Chains A and B, each alone.
Chain A
């Protein structure tokens, strides 16, 4: 209540804000349907239409929606019919592209960072529209990779390295290679027509530049093929509009891009062809094997990178005057530190969500330990990282990791606003409106005699700011013990830190707290935060925001997560059994030919 009064708002005011914000959330979920209508002129009229459309869908979904505390799944009948929205095929993202060519060619180049950026509008990277620029970049990269592979064929494939370089024996040898290679590259058995087309391309390349030209052309042809660039999605043999299971080969691909961010290996493709991925049980056992594979780290690291927005670390700067000894090398140190923390949670802590939110372990290389003012002792010989166990009164989990605190800070001061926004959007899956268009967003200058908290407090003097900042600032202030570099502090200059805060409109996360440790402990137990965790993993794994048709999938997920005592690994495994992961809605099929349009 104390914070509430400080912000000059009433409980009734907060309730009204909650109501409005909930209405907005529905609007967002159904925006997909709105885009297909003639756009109404007035944004409030749009809301009204949105709500109208949402209503019948919400009614049909209500049978298996349930509230957060509804316990085990009771609406089995409603969920018995599989349901997923219609989703067209997507292309590989930049990260997926690079891991795939690395596993496929073993020639150690990563062209994708130079590609046009992936669509980031959903919060996770997805393969969006192909621009003319990207289409060219695909062909350029395919040719450059083809040349690299042709120059070192043995690295790509031992037998290819031993192929004769001319004559019919060379052709037979290359053809054998292409059969092996395309199965991996296309993540599916390749038919005769494809192999013949690639052999024709090989021969054309030979005419231009001998065996090297042939290999370059054939490999470039594979790497610029839509079968390589797009995710394979089988269609169930059902009528248009019906929902059915994906074939095992497609499931293998979905599994491997989720867990490994790369193509399936031969063993997984073998499983698929033997029918072992046709049923949920088989898919689950494959998933259990895959999370034991070293490649699983790619999946977890990439999930965490996107979820937390860690790309921002590569542009991090700090003022030398405020953070003595700041050097750009610390960007990489912070990233490594965060990845190591996640690895620790996933392995030693056995995927515990509670450990993710409350563990007081921090990993640091020598530079980072120095920057944190900690002693660097007995580093792991393999990683070069020391494991620092910091006072439990100072550190609790992800939110207090130095990497995240330094990321969510200004060059010269902490950043309670962005820390608060982070918790609301990334940890509670809240949607916040942007600030009014005409407000001054410049952080207040450092002022001796005032704490950061006092300087930011003008948010409460401006009523239209207070509406959102009531939700944001009292959470952000809870992190005031962490300075611009994420170092724990008890004082800001001469002044004591006041890290008391409160969560509003956060359902079971609501209430006052003192400091981020208390907040994190609360969030670890919060069903809202747990459900949000499951949503984030869902969005990453499935490549879209959950929609009404995904209600049963997400409900299964929430249930599995809670039944596993909040084991993140079990959460990831539960996803592969959901409709959203292994089902597809059949599209209309028009009679078409190859050469149109």
Chain B
């Protein structure tokens, strides 16, 4: 999607806000925001900030959602790739925890990130910057900030999740176009730690604190209901003031200053709109239970942190606060210590061990099994929420994509990336788009083509995605 298109989407959003404002009047809007909070309070959830709106018009079609799940440092393909044929496959160690969901999986074996043949960056930088964008990294504006950075800055593309988020936002504005949840993602903003991009050089930071994400979605649990309601009313007034302030200030500015400010102004306008625009609150919408004492910086808590983020995202979907989300487990070169599964080793350190080190390989497999178990749990959570026709669940309307920035850790290969699709997206007739329960094996096909196919499944008219030299058209055989 081009910059112009993004701007247009922002513009549409702002116009829609002004229309709503004109038709209802601000006083009515304020009243509604307040009432909305109180109405939401009668639900099971005591925390209401995220549920503050009255709900925009319900989308008549079955929902289409995307959830990207990232784990780092490659896999061990011998233990990842299932045995057997397309449908009569048997899992090896790493994906074995997914057995109970096998009918809702598409295992994509052998896809390459060929776009990484282009442009600067080391293996991990490229892997992370390319995995969702499929275009080369931009050369650094300046020198690297780390010890041995080559001169790169950010990815030069829009990521697939954001393309889909922006496409969905063209028809319905929700509280969030997308939600980026993180697990132990560190505190550095650089190309190794960011995979989602709203535009070239415009990375989206993941929120690695489940408590902060909870508060963002469902309200601050430390503030009582009445105070929350008042704060929301004040927020609306403050945002209104901020918008006018930006608008006054921009007039006097030069072109480059104004461009920078305008991007921020678009976000202020969009926040203002979104306070009215939370989705229809579904009957299964309830704030999850959060362990407030969780140390979300401790490697040893990786399992609990990940599950808390899974809960946050599941309920953000159930409450229709967003249709697009990602859960980023650590970052490329992620090097957390895996006490959680009884290891004292760190993930990235292990991933460099040679193939002859059987003990290290076994440990890497165990780490990937751990992630597969959490991924299966995520699918459990999504399929625990009934949605649509009898017997259907949220998983039938949510495409979950498990991605990795490398194929294998010790060789840093950017080929044979272990992609797993789970769940589905309904087509215009409400039927499942993807024919799941299969293992597909590819030769010489790129992940750009996978993303093209995904964009189309979400209704975006996209013929190619990312670098045109590595994008031949939508990946066939998925339906």
Contacts and interface: CB of A to CB of B under 8 A. Distances in A.
Interface of A: 27-28, 31-32, 34-35, 39, 41, 43, 46, 86, 88-89, 114, 116-124, 128-136, 139, 142-143, 146-147, 193-194, 197-198, 200-201, 204-205, 208-209, 213, 216-217, 220-221, 224-227, 229-230, 233, 235, 240, 311, 418, 421-422, 425, 431-435, 437-438, 440-442, 544-545, 586-590, 592-595, 597
Contacts of A39: 119, 136, 138-139, 156
Nearest to A221: B241
A431 B151 contact: yes
B216 A136 contact: yes
12 contacts: A32-B142, A41-B118, A89-B260, A120-B189, A121-B190, A123-B144, A132-B176, A235-B254, A240-B254, A440-B352, A442-B353, A590-B255
The 3 lowest CB-CB distance pairs between A and B, nearest first, are A587-B254, A594-B247, A437-B123
Interface in B183-226: 187-191, 198, 201-205, 207, 209, 212, 216
B411 A120 contact: no
Contacts of A437: 122-123, 412
Contacts of B258: 590, 592
A133 B180 contact: yes
Contacts of A235: 254
B247 A121 contact: no
B136 to A, nearest CB: 7
Nearest to A198: B241
B141 A31 contact: yes
A577 B459 CA distance: 57
Contact of B242 (A89, A221, A230, A440): A221
B230 interface: yes
B256 A587 contact: yes
Contact of A131 (B118, B125, B136, B205): B205
A520 B259 CA distance: 46
Contacts of A425: 147-148
B341 interface: no
B234 A209 contact: yes
A185 B239 CA distance: 18
A139 B144 CA distance: 31
Contacts of B99: none
Contact of A588 (B177, B238, B255, B349): B255
Nearest to B140: A31
Nearest to B122: A434
Contacts of B469: 41
Contacts of A193: 248
B261 interface: yes
A201 B245 CA distance: 12
Contact of B119 (A43, A130, A143): A43
Contact of B139 (A31, A225, A590): A31
Given A118-B189, A139-B271, A442-B352, A35 B138 contact: yes
The CB with the most chain A CB atoms within 10 A, among B139, B235, B256, B353, is that of B139
A240 B253 CA distance: 12
Interface stretch (B262-270, B279-287, B302-310): B262-270
B448 to A, nearest CB: 15
Interface residues of B, number: 87
A43 B152 CA distance: 12
Nearest to A440: B352
A594 B257 contact: no
B204 A438 contact: no
Given A220-B238, A221-B241, A119 B189 contact: yes
A226 B264 CA distance: 9
Contact of A135 (B141, B187, B267): B267
Contact of B239 (A139, A587, A595): A139
Contact of B241 (A123, A201, A432): A201
B122 A35 contact: no
A422 B147 contact: yes
Given A89-B260, A122-B143, A139-B271, A213 B230 contact: yes
Contact of A35 (B139, B212, B246, B354): B139
B329 to A, nearest CB: 18
A545 B142 contact: yes
A185 B284 CA distance: 45
B212 A225 contact: no
Contact of A120 (B145, B180, B216, B260): B145
A129 B248 contact: no
Contact of B205 (A27, A133, A220, A589): A133
A32 B140 CA distance: 7
Contacts of B247: 594-595
Contact of B268 (A135, A204, A205): A135
B257 A587 contact: yes
B429 to A, nearest CB: 33
Contacts of B237: 201, 204-205, 208, 217
A208 B153 CA distance: 46
Given A422-B147, A435-B148, A587-B257, A117 B142 contact: no
B204 A132 contact: yes
Interface string B87-114: 0000000000000000000000000000
A121 B145 contact: yes
A399 to B, nearest CB: 15
A121 B140 contact: yes
Contacts of B264: 130, 135, 226, 229
Contacts of A233: 257
Given A122-B143, A209-B230, A136 B256 contact: no
A230 B248 CA distance: 15
A135 B11 CA distance: 18
B380 to A, nearest CB: 28
Given A139-B242, A438-B411, A594-B248, A131 B204 contact: yes
Given A129-B263, A132-B177, A421 B148 contact: yes
Given A216-B234, A226-B261, A135 B202 contact: no
A133 B188 CA distance: 15
A217 B230 contact: no
Contacts of B150: 433-434
Contacts of A422: 147
Interface string B14-29: 0000000000000000
A32 B141 contact: yes
The CB with the most chain A CB atoms within 10 A, among B245, B349, B412, is that of B245
B270 A132 contact: yes
B245 A227 contact: yes
Contacts of B10: 597
B230 A418 contact: no
A425 B143 CA distance: 10
Given A130-B267, A131-B203, A208-B234, A46 B261 contact: no
Nearest to B410: A440
Contact of B187 (A117, A130, A216, A593): A117
Contacts of B180: 133
Contacts of A421: 147-148
B168 to A, nearest CB: 15
Contact of B143 (A88, A221, A545, A595): A545
B376 to A, nearest CB: 28
A432 B122 CA distance: 12
B366 interface: no
Contacts of B441: none
Contacts of B235: 139, 143
Contacts of A208: 230, 233-234, 237
A86 B254 CA distance: 11
A67 B163 CA distance: 50
Interface in B114-163: 118-120, 122-123, 125, 136, 138-145, 147-151, 153-154, 156
Contact of A88 (B190, B246, B257): B257
A536 to B, nearest CB: 12
Contact of A593 (B201, B249, B251, B268): B251
